[in-house]
A and B are shown apart, each in its own frame.
Chain A
């Protein structure tokens, strides 16, 4: 079991560019969660998705950020027109079902640096 796979591990973007972060959940997991971690801070919930559905996006900024989890392929977190404040580690987690007995398994994260 390869675990939750995130890529790229590191991403550098200039201000105004787009960032695309990918997350493949663990095999058999159908729930994906995205969290953002600013330097020296905790994990902030962004969005919860199931296949082809956004279930809870209460933590997503209203502008420039979007997420999807298509029927085929990985979940994508997309940040348009990046700004310096978007620099952070973005972690994806997956679980097999609602209120999973085993909690979340996190990926290794994507560290986004905006220059």
Chain B
């Protein structure tokens, strides 16, 4: 089955700087890659996703890039703010397989 690895496990960034979180996946048939943000004690919330037919997607300060050949994808947050502090999870889903396989999460701390 699919295996998703996520790095780093913790990340501290000065407010205003950029943060990058990276994930790799094992199943070359995976075609959907969402990112979730989870604040303490709350539900995971979808913040951005990308499908395998595009290499990059951007939504204001958040962008995701996908390299299918290398089987890795990354989340980029620019101009970070204190409210970006949370745990971020990447995930992958294969064609014909409805379940999402999640990475182990990155705890992002924005230092004011």
How distant is A74 from chain B, measured CB to nearest CB, in Å?
Answer: 17
**Contact A99 B102, CB 8 Å, known A106-B44, A107-B43:** no
B104 touches which one: A41, A45, A107 (CB < 8 A)?
A41
Check B45 against A98 for contact (C-beta < 8 Å). Answer: no
Main secondary structure of the interface of B (DSSP, over half): loop
- B43 to A91, Cβ gap below 8 A? yes
A-B contact count (CB 8 A): 54
**Those of A64-109 within 8 Å (CB) of chain B:** 91, 95, 98-99, 102-109
The listed residue with most B CB atoms (<10 A of its CB), out of A33, A41, A43, A48, is A43
Chain B residues contacting A12 (CB-CB under 8 Å) are: none
Contacts of A44 in B (CB 8 A): 102
Given known pairs A42-B103, A42-B104, A99-B93, the reply for A109 and B98 (CB within 8 Å) is: no
Bound complex: CA A58 to CA B89 (Å):
21
Q: How many residues of A contact B (CB 8 A)?
A: 25
- Assess whether A54 is interfacial by the CB under 8 Å rule: no
Contact A98 B98 (CB under 8 A): yes
Partner of B100, one of A58, A104, A109: A104
**B46 is an interface residue with CB less than 8 A from chain A:** yes
Assess whether A18 is interfacial by the CB under 8 Å rule. Answer: no
Chain A residues whose C-beta falls within 8 Å of the C-beta of B100 in the assembled complex:
33, 45, 103-104
**A99-B32, A99-B93, A103-B49 given; A43·B102 CB < 8 A:** yes
**Which chain B residues lie closer than 8 Å to A91 at the CB level?**
43-44
Given A108-B43, A109-B43, residue A103 in contact with residue B102 (CB < 8 A):
no
Besides A33-B98, A103-B100, A106-B45, 6 more A-B contacts (Cβ < 8 Å) are A44-B102, A95-B98, A99-B93, A102-B46, A103-B34, A106-B36
